[in-house]
Structures are given as C-alpha cells and as structure tokens.
Structure 1
C-alpha cells in the first residue's frame, strides 16, 4: 500500500501520521505538528507555505540569535577580570541566559535539519543537512557541557547563527521555486469561481466546480468561460493567450469549441459543457506540468550522483582536519576547523543549480504555448544540430483551399465527403469545409475506415469500397489515371497545388486539387534557425515542383520530395548516424512515425490536445516562430546550468581549501554557503530574460 503524503508539504509519511482538523470537519494527515502549524497560521500549502514558514522561522531565530551574539561579546572579555568574583558570577548568569535563548533556536531551526539527517531504513542519510546538523549541534552540545562544567568553550552564537543563515538560505531557495511554478498557479486562478447556469429558462448563479456534462451556461462580454464546451448560440472574440501563448483573440461562433479560463472579449456565448472537469484543457495543462516538474534531466541526475559521493568525502576531510588540528592546537581549534570544513562544503548551490534553471525554463515554455514534456527533453533540445520539417501544415498553411473538384458524378463527391469526415488530416478537413460550403449532405453509411500513412484513406461507403489518396496509392493498387484527370493533375503541379484522387478497386473516379500557401512567418522562422547555425531539411510527400518553390522562397537547400513515411524515417536515421541530435517538426497527425524516430519530435498545431504520444514537444498553435524560440530558451537554460555548476565547484574548492588551513570561522563559512546559493538563484532567474 502506498504511503500517505503530508497534506502540507507533500512528503510521504513513513511512520504513523498525525491527523488534524483543518476546518469544516475535514481531517488530514500531517507528517509533524510543525506542518500543521504552518497550515493553520499561513493557510498556504506546498512550496508557498514552506517559503512563508522558513521566513517566519528565520525572523524568530534571527531575533534570538542576535541577542545571543551580543551577550556572547561580553563573554569574550570575561578573562579580563579573573579575580573579580562579582564579574565572574555575572558571567556565569550570562552563560545560562545564552543557553536558555539558544535552545529554542536549536529546537525550532535545528531539529528539522537533524531529523532529515536520519533515515528510517539506513539510519544516516548522506545529504546537506547531515553536514549542517553535525556542525551546529557539535557547537551547541560543547557549549552546554562548558556551561555546566564552567569551561570557557562557549559557541552558542556559532551554533545559532549557522542555523539562522541556513534557514535564510532555505527561504531563498524555496521562494525561488515558488516563483518558478507561478505559471501553474496562474492557470489555476484562471477558472472563474462562479458560472451562470441556464436551467428551465432561468439564469442561476452556481459554483463553477459544480458544473457537469450537458449543462448549458451563459457567458457575457468580459467574463471568463467556466468550462470546456461547444458554442450553441452567439458569437464573439475569445482571448486564449494563457493556453496558446497567442495574444490575438480568436473568433468563436456556433459549433466552435471553447475552453475553461479563457476570456470572452466581446459578444455573448451560450455554451454546452462537453467534458468532465478532469479532461478540461486547463486541468490537463496543470496535470502535465506537475508530471514534467517531477522529471529529471541527465545533468540533474549527474549532480545527484556527485552529491552522493561528495558528502562522504567531505565528512572524511572534516574528520582529518579535526585530527590534524587536535594534535597541532588542541580540541577547540580542531572543532572549529572541522565545523568550518563541513559548513563551507555544503553543496546547496550545486544541488539546486540544475533543477531551478530547468523549472523556470519549463514554466517559460508553457507560457509561450510550448509544451516540453520533461526536463530531459529541454536539455536534449539545446544540443539539436539538424532540424527536419514536414511541409503540409508545418511550412505551409495547415488548412488548404480546394481549387478544383472533378468526378464521374456528384454521388462520388458525396461519398468522398462522407469518407473524408472520418479523417483528421489537413486535406480532409479542407475538403469537408468545401463540401459544407456547397451545402452537400453527408448521410452515407461508412464502415471499416482505415488510414494508410503516406498514401491516403479507405472505407466502405454505402456498401462500396472507396479510396482517397495520392498517385502512389493508385500505383500500389495497379490502376491507371484517365487522361482527362491526368491533365488536371499536371496543371495542378504547375500551380504548386496538391492533387488527390478518388478511386475504387477498379478505376479512378475523380480528382481534388488543393492550393497551399507558405506561412507568412515561415521565412522569419527559417532565417532565425539559420542564425542559430542549425542544418535545415524539408521532407515532403509532394512533387519536386513544390520542393523547388520552397527552395526559392525560403532558401532551404535540402528539400526531399515524393517521400513515403518510411522514406522520411530513413532520412532521419541517416542524420542520426552522423552522431547528431535530430529534431523533426510535423503536424502530429500523419507524421507520427517520423516524430517518434527523431531525438526530438515537435508536433505543431495541437490545440488543447497536448498528449500526442509521438511528440516530445507539442506546440499549441501553428506559429512556426515558436521553433527557434524554444531552441533559444533551451540553450539559455543550458548555459545557466553550466554556469551554476562551474561557480558552485569553484566556490567549494576555494572555500574548503581555506577552511582546512584553520583561517575560516564557522559563521563566515555558513554565510559564504548562503551567498553561494543566492548567486545560483539569481543566475537561474536570468532564464526569464531569454
């Protein structure tokens, strides 16, 4: 049975949980009383609650630690009056006062760190808290012993200030993670609290989270749409920027789909709820983002491995320093030096250097409508050398215009319309739109629908086997094209149009030609990719003629035409064999095999269907400029990560060397550790300025 998780911090509870009422009779599991107290006092959960808790602990600890520090300065001069009994009596009182003030700091700030240094299964955890706990509690217990035995070795100010500085560092780290995840919180806040439900001809205000399948809701100008649904009545422009990254409002009319959290800028809409809440686009985004944030990139796993070996080595160095200085200068010098080594070596900066930059990078990508499905994908994206593009729906407009339809009779066109309605290919969608504009009806019975990737589709329409596809599909069945249709095909190729044929098992029955337009943003995107020194190739199943047009208009030298899906895969494999990281950009419908074969598969125009299995990255919109944008972001994240790791290493090497000489106090070591973490956090936030 899976372990319960703490309601506040989300950490699995290995032992017996503490159960508390959080209000309204709701009882939840907590790992400790501290988490319950944080929840009651702040009302915040997760990283945000922890950040507030760390700030509160820091404030309380800092107040007491500064009093301890000031009182300790008196003790430093106590040796000046060894023969004054009143002064010595007062010094003893001061020691007890310092002990009393230090103990709450050790309990509130030190116990959680000490607790994290022990494991239920392995007794001792080798983590950063191990080093901090050993250093701080060594100073504290030595000081307690000195108070009761009247020895001069009092280091309460060192013990408390170490914990205060570490807590402040934890606050910086946690609050930076909160900022990195702000986008997910913004998504959650998008959904309106209330909705106007239409029931029995009346408008009823209800909680949006109570909406269910089939409910009819009314959305007025300026209001947020409360659920995913289909427009039954009305029209207007909807701002979908938080889902798609596109600032331009989208026109919505009858039968169009709308999404929860988007804003109706003008007009009014009557909407029918068509999905349960867990399937709403916004909720799918949030769920996916949580899954992505739990993933680890290779560089992240490397830092984890290094930390695992680094900590035992530092414990050994600390022990060696203690032994050396114990012989050279006695117990106190040995203790102070070993504590300094432990504290300066805490790899906090090293351990957050990679994940923090990755978290921020993934959040920034989400904000632009770029769904990168894992930290490992973001890291690999930064190393892409060659990028392949499909043509239709990628470089050219996704939906093409029907230029000409020629068939044996109107019944053939009607049957083709019924068959194409079963497909989601861009050509099929264009043809269906054309038929609707001609007021054709699609009342045929379609059975055994099947897609042949790279060729076309087939199905039994009103009892007759019918095919719609390209010239290669016709050749595969051993059919010949009538002269009249062949002339139309040649004319289409001259005009850079796509010819598609309608045929059965015996003969070719008709032809449909589609005109296509290169996207306006394509030249900008290709130019940007060239500046990034990427090798660009286009793979298309279309004719050589259109391949020449792409070369002329976009300046892409390598355009391979007349390719089947297996041919595209072979081209990708050839490039991968040159030890290059390869990306493939396609529309995610007929390019699934090629997207899966590439190191990075990028599916464009996924809308809210962000779960394309064949793609590592899904673009919500059709905007080709997002491709160079995502590579720029990935490279910026990579630079920041390597800068973080480099400076964390340099800091540790210099700091440890200096501490081993016995010239670095524990307080300065703890302060240096916090400053190192602050540098890494500040450097990681630079990702936002990409």
Structure 2
C-alpha cells in the first residue's frame, strides 16, 4: 500500500548532492544513469534524458523548449476536443433527432481518442511526480493530477455507459494550461541564470599545450598542473598560470571590474576567461582546473543558487502545510455540494478548489525574485554569497568602513624613507612580498621601481592583525609595522625616526617602522588619498537612513581629515582588531543589522563578526571566506548599489507574497461557492503565476 506523505518538492532530501546532467537541479532520491558520449551521467528522471536526446540542449533552456513543445502538441489536440465538446453540448437542442444523437454518440469516442494522448504526454509525467517512490506526495502536482484525471476517468466511464457527464475538455485544458504555466516559469528561471551560462562560455574549449617540445591542441579538461600553454594575441586565457615567456596587455575587467588593460610580464599570473590583447605568452599551469579563478567563480554561483533566504523557507513551510489544508477544503466542499446538487456539481467544485489553490505563484514568488536579484548583482561585479545574505542586506542599518584601501585608494605612495642602510629596506621588501595588505604592496611597488629588490629566503612569516608582520629574512629577524607594534615588542624608537613619525602624523600620513633583531632601524612614510567616489557614496547611504562609521587603526590626525572631507561624525581612530569587534558588537546589541566593509585580508575578524562582511577588490581572489559579499573591483559605489538592489528585491518579494495570498483567498472562496469552473480556475492560476513572474522581472529595473 502506498504511503501518504505531505511534503513539497523542496523538502525531499538530496541524494549525495548530485546534480541532473540535463536540468542541473539537485537530484531527489536515487539518480537514473544513462550513457552520454561513452560516460555514465546522472539524470533526475527519464524525461530529462529524453529532452537531452531530442534537443541536444542542456539546462533550464532545454526544459523550457520541451515544455513549449508539449504545450503546442497538447494545445492542438485540446482545441479539437474543445470544439467537438461544444458541438456535443449543443446536441440537447435537438433531442428528437435520432441521427444527431447517433452522431453525438460517435463524437464522444472521437473526443476520447483525441484526449488520451494529451493525458499520456502531459498528465503521466505529473502523475509520476505525484506518486513516486511508493508513496503519495501531497504536492502541487498532486492537486493537478486529482483534478485532471478525475475529470478524465469520469468522462471515460460516461462514454462507455452512455452517461451525460463528459468533461474531456476540462481534463485536457487543465493540463495544457499547467504545461504553459511551467514553460513560463522555467523560461524565466533560465533567463535569471543566464549570467552563469555566459561565464561558462568565457573559457575557451581548446588550448595549445607544449609537451616534449611539441605543440598540441587539447581540450580544456585535458590540461594538467605543470603543463606549458601557448596563448596568442586575441585569445581567451584557457587556464590559470604563471607567465614563463612573453609580455603584453590583458583585459581582466571580467574579474576586477577595471577596464584598463593590465601589463603582464614574466612572473605575473594570468587568469582563466580574461582576454589576451596584444601579448604572445607561454604560461605554466600552477593549479588544478577546479581551482582556476573562473571555475571557482562558477562554483560559487552554483552554491549561491542552492541557498534559500529566510523568506523563501517561510514560503516553503507555508506551502508544506497549505496543501493538506486545501485537500481537506476541497473534499469538504465536494461533500457539501454532493448533498446539495449531486455528484456532477460536487466534482466540479472539488476540481475548482484544487486548481485555483495550486500554490505555484506562492512557490515561485520569492526564489525567482532572489535569482534575478543575485544575477543582477553578479553583472555589477557584486558577488553576494547566498540568497539569505541578499535578504539580510536589505535590512542593514549600520555600515562600518575600514580606512586603508577601502575609503582611501588602495595604492599608497611612499613619500619618505629613512633607514640605517639600504639593505634594511631590501629586507623589509622581501618580508612584505608575503603580505596582502595595501601598505605592504605599496612598499614592494616602491622598492621595485627603485631597484631595491633581491631574492631573499623568508622563513616563519607571521601576520599580527592591527600591528604588523614578522619573519626571518636571510637569517635576520625582521619586524615591519606600526608604532604600537614596536611598543608591544619593547623596542625604543630613535629620536631621528621619532621626528619623522611626528611630522607624518601631523600631515595625516602613515608611518611604518622597520626593526631588525631588537631595535628600530628605519621608517617608511606613505601618503594616502580619499577615493573620489567616497563623498557621494556616504551621501547615498545617509539618504537611505543608514548610519555610517569608520573604524581605523590609523592616527587621529587622518581621522580628523576624514570627518572634515566626508562629513562622517563616527570616525574611530587608533583601533586594534579587538576594538573594531567591540564597536560592531555594540551596534548589534542595539538590534541593528551591521555591515563591515574592508579589504577582506587584514579586516577578516571584523568581517566575520559583522552581520554582513563586504570585501573589496576580490577580482582574482574569490576564496575570501571571511566575506559574505565580494566586490570584484575597488569601486566604493558598489556598496550602496548592493543595498539598493537588496531593498528592491525585498519589495518585489513582499508584493509577490501579498498577491499570492489575496489571490488564493478570493479564488478559494469563489471555488467553494460553486462560482468557478475548473478551466477558469486553471487559467486563473496561470495568470497569477504570470503576474508574479512579470513583477519579479521588475528587479531588473532597479
């Protein structure tokens, strides 16, 4: 005996987290395996395998094409059924004409023959989903199956027993309308995921690999770590690797958002999917394909699409309990009308209640808007790592910014250098090569420009967040960091270095100290400038009624400059990492959703502690786990842009939920009162889904 369960499709456990080769959705239950190009692939159902074999197109687009084809076939036969049924219903006008009545009896069988393939093609797949795994799944498909097949089998019985209750047109039109509705839903989801498909197209399918001195063209999948790949001008970079020969400019706008071409030479790294403009390169592949930047990007996209926002989970929960309630209402209404007007009226009301209450609009209202929103964010170079993050972002009330590399330009300029000798600067440069901090990168850039670089052996490299770095360089213990770091180490600062430090603080500059073994031996002073877009960014956030603050470990002097130029009242200077965490916790205790914006490296603790961590400049580093949101470029305007998008998505979702709720209340009321026919109930359900889809598309106009 089949076991009855009350679960929607989204609540079924995922088997080994496998994805369908055809449609790409997680497979529920045990996957079906079919051979494709000599390799066994997993399919969620035979239908997906059939679609792949007939169309050759994979993903939701092929599913949409299949739904459209089924709709066309079903619509043709259903219209014939509808027209013949109209003639049959008109036969009561000539009850005394034996020839007319005989012809009507013949037409009933013709209609049965025309309706049956529609039920088989459109109805059986839905029937399988409603009764699968040896159990009855009380889901939206069950409602459709109960309505359409009840009408069909009653009509078959009536044909063979010469009864008047023939509803083939109702049974077939229900399925045709449902199929068309699912075509609309599937095509909308396909459009919402087009950005990921575009990413997949960015990687070339072939590459020229040099093995044993010979150039061989291979598929991308055949490239291995250690291979040397040849790239000519105009080609897409096929793999991540280090340049071993050649020089030229590369367009990395896909990953960094920067339109200016980047000069690449020996020792630099090239990334998959970027475009070689004018260089002839040979690169050595330095990581496996799953770790290539573009592939990592695509994997993140898949993980994002698998997440659900709280509002989405609420919708799923409501649908979970909504379905058994509707079945109960439908049965109760059917019994009432059976007692009042007989079986025929009871069946009509029963089917109408089931069809008008099918929660398709409710089920797609939240996820579709979220998918479109996440897709739009990706197009803007804003990687929001989950639908739940997007929803939470819409409620943010406080945004804290780090200063260096965030509201100031990432590239700092060295204005003054003082050291006991030139070798100390070289040792500091060797140590800073291991750092990702903007200060470290600026020092290395300064040394490279002046030829103060050399190969050094660096050991025991350590980062002390908020203070500096340390390590053993060519056998000498080197420390590079702030004044507080030197004090923490117990090192005294020579007077000539202290004078430079005081002057730097007065000018709002950044002093960085260099210590060798147990004493301060040099100082590097860096100047910084506020990003030109910063004033407008903070103005927009204030207009959105979001509190803005700056948390920095820098001196109070530059904090004063920020207050004056940007009009920010809450600027906290001289902070250690734990102080930043304390500031975030204080805001969270007030019940405010807090976001922290930083560079994702030295601000990792603060990004984790905040409700939403936003890391800037992540174009070629998408593995920064500390951030909930990664901005591919250093453009500060992306922060308010992300907030505005999140608010737009939330507004659309609430509109969808409100419409679906009101629609169901009104529709169920009409159906229970017997004022709605099954065909109009099915049509109303399709129109409701169309409204939700059209409303969700408004996210694109944010």
- Select between 612-621 and 346-355 the one with higher mean Cα deviation: 612-621
1:471 is aligned, of 457, 461, 483, to 483
How far off its partner does 1:201 sit?
Answer: 6.7
Equivalences for residues 338-487 of structure 1 within 5 A:
338-487=350-499
Q: Does residue 1:108 correspond to 2:121, yes or no?
A: yes
Q: For residue 522 of structure 2, what is the aligned residue in structure 1?
A: 510
Question: Which ranges of structure 2 fall in alignment gaps of 5 or more residues?
Answer: 1-14
Equivalences for residues 237-276 of structure 1 within 5 A:
237-276=249-288
Q: Secondary structure at the match of 1:647?
A: helix
Structure-2 change in CA distance of 1:214 and 1:654 (3 Å): same
Q: For residue 89 of structure 1, what is the aligned residue in structure 2?
A: 102
Tell me if structure 1 keeps the 8 A contact 2:123–2:175: yes
How far off its partner does 1:352 sit?
Answer: 0.2
How far off its partner does 1:491 sit?
Answer: 1.0
Q: Secondary structure at the match of 2:277?
A: strand
Q: For residue 198 of structure 2, what is the aligned residue in structure 1?
A: 186
In the TM superposition, what whole-angstrom CA distance separates every residue of 1:438-458 from its partner, at most 9, and x where no partner exists?
Answer: 223434433222111111112
Q: Secondary structure at the match of 2:254?
A: helix
Tell me if structure 1 keeps the 8 A contact 2:17–2:26: no
1:524 is aligned, of 536, 543, 558, to 536
Structure-2 change in CA distance of 1:681 and 1:194 (3 Å): same
Structure-2 change in CA distance of 1:237 and 1:441 (3 Å): closer
Q: For residue 344 of structure 2, what is the aligned residue in structure 1?
A: 332
Equivalences for residues 312-331 of structure 1 within 5 A:
312-331=324-343
How far off its partner does 1:86 sit?
Answer: 2.2
Q: Does residue 1:12 correspond to 2:27, yes or no?
A: yes
Q: For residue 50 of structure 1, what is the aligned residue in structure 2?
A: 63
Distance in 2 between residues matched to 1:640 and 1:318, nearest whole Å: 31
Q: Secondary structure at the match of 1:392?
A: helix
Tell me if structure 1 keeps the 8 A contact 2:31–2:45: no
How far off its partner does 1:246 sit?
Answer: 3.9
Distance in 1 between residues matched to 2:119 and 2:130, nearest whole Å: 15
Equivalences for residues 163-174 of structure 1 within 5 A:
163-174=175-186
In the TM superposition, what whole-angstrom CA distance separates every residue of 1:369-416 from its partner, at most 9, and x where no partner exists?
Answer: 211111100100111010000000101111212222212223322322
Distance in 1 between residues matched to 2:255 and 2:138, nearest whole Å: 42
Distance in 2 between residues matched to 1:172 and 1:369, nearest whole Å: 28
Distance in 2 between residues matched to 1:447 and 1:4, nearest whole Å: 43
How far off its partner does 1:185 sit?
Answer: 0.6
Q: Secondary structure at the match of 1:77?
A: helix
In the TM superposition, what whole-angstrom CA distance separates every residue of 1:244-268 from its partner, at most 9, and x where no partner exists?
Answer: 3444433433433222222233444
2:692 is aligned, of 647, 655, 680, to 680
Structure-2 change in CA distance of 1:30 and 1:488 (3 Å): closer
Distance in 2 between residues matched to 1:361 and 1:322, nearest whole Å: 42
2:665 is aligned, of 639, 647, 653, to 653
In the TM superposition, what whole-angstrom CA distance separates every residue of 1:80-107 from its partner, at most 9, and x where no partner exists?
Answer: 2333332222111111111111111111
Tell me if structure 1 keeps the 8 A contact 2:31–2:42: no
How many residue pairs are counted as aligned between the two chains? 687
Q: Does residue 1:287 correspond to 2:304, yes or no?
A: no
Q: Secondary structure at the match of 1:618?
A: strand
How far off its partner does 1:34 sit?
Answer: 2.9
How far off its partner does 1:354 sit?
Answer: 0.4
- Select between 208-217 and 282-291 the one with higher mean Cα deviation: 208-217
Q: Secondary structure at the match of 1:611?
A: coil
Structure-2 change in CA distance of 1:578 and 1:5 (3 Å): closer
Q: Secondary structure at the match of 2:477?
A: strand
In the TM superposition, what whole-angstrom CA distance separates every residue of 1:304-336 from its partner, at most 9, and x where no partner exists?
Answer: 000011111111111111111112211111110
Distance in 2 between residues matched to 1:354 and 1:15, nearest whole Å: 28
Q: For residue 622 of structure 1, what is the aligned residue in structure 2?
A: 634
Q: Secondary structure at the match of 1:584?
A: strand
Q: Secondary structure at the match of 1:75?
A: helix
1:117 is aligned, of 130, 144, 159, to 130
Q: Does residue 1:61 correspond to 2:84, yes or no?
A: no
Question: Which ranges of structure 1 fall in alignment gaps of 5 or more residues?
Answer: none
Structure-2 change in CA distance of 1:256 and 1:51 (3 Å): same
Q: For residue 600 of structure 1, what is the aligned residue in structure 2?
A: 612
Distance in 2 between residues matched to 1:527 and 1:310, nearest whole Å: 45
1:77 is aligned, of 90, 102, 105, to 90
In the TM superposition, what whole-angstrom CA distance separates every residue of 1:54-74 from its partner, at most 9, and x where no partner exists?
Answer: 111111111110000000011
In the TM superposition, what whole-angstrom CA distance separates every residue of 1:29-81 from its partner, at most 9, and x where no partner exists?
Answer: 54544333211111122322211111111111111100000000111112223
In the TM superposition, what whole-angstrom CA distance separates every residue of 1:5-44 from its partner, at most 9, and x where no partner exists?
Answer: 6543456364684x5444x444445454433321111112
Tell me if structure 2 keeps the 8 A contact 1:477–1:505: no
**What is the TM-score with the length of structure 1 in the denominator?**
0.95
Distance in 2 between residues matched to 1:16 and 1:214, nearest whole Å: 36
Q: For residue 582 of structure 2, what is the aligned residue in structure 1?
A: 570
Distance in 1 between residues matched to 2:38 and 2:460, nearest whole Å: 55
In the TM superposition, what whole-angstrom CA distance separates every residue of 1:539-595 from its partner, at most 9, and x where no partner exists?
Answer: 000111000111111111110000000000000001111100000000111101100
Distance in 2 between residues matched to 1:33 and 1:386, nearest whole Å: 51
**What is the TM-score with the length of structure 2 in the denominator?**
0.94
Distance in 2 between residues matched to 1:592 and 1:642, nearest whole Å: 34
Structure-2 change in CA distance of 1:257 and 1:540 (3 Å): same
Tell me if structure 2 keeps the 8 A contact 1:245–1:367: no
Distance in 2 between residues matched to 1:184 and 1:536, nearest whole Å: 33
In the TM superposition, what whole-angstrom CA distance separates every residue of 1:204-242 from its partner, at most 9, and x where no partner exists?
Answer: 544344333333334333322222223334444333333
Q: For residue 223 of structure 1, what is the aligned residue in structure 2?
A: 235
Equivalences for residues 538-617 of structure 1 within 5 A:
538-617=550-629
How far off its partner does 1:488 sit?
Answer: 0.3
Structure-2 change in CA distance of 1:477 and 1:247 (3 Å): closer
Tell me if structure 2 keeps the 8 A contact 1:5–1:13: no
- Select between 503-512 and 479-488 the one with higher mean Cα deviation: 503-512
Distance in 1 between residues matched to 2:53 and 2:146, nearest whole Å: 31
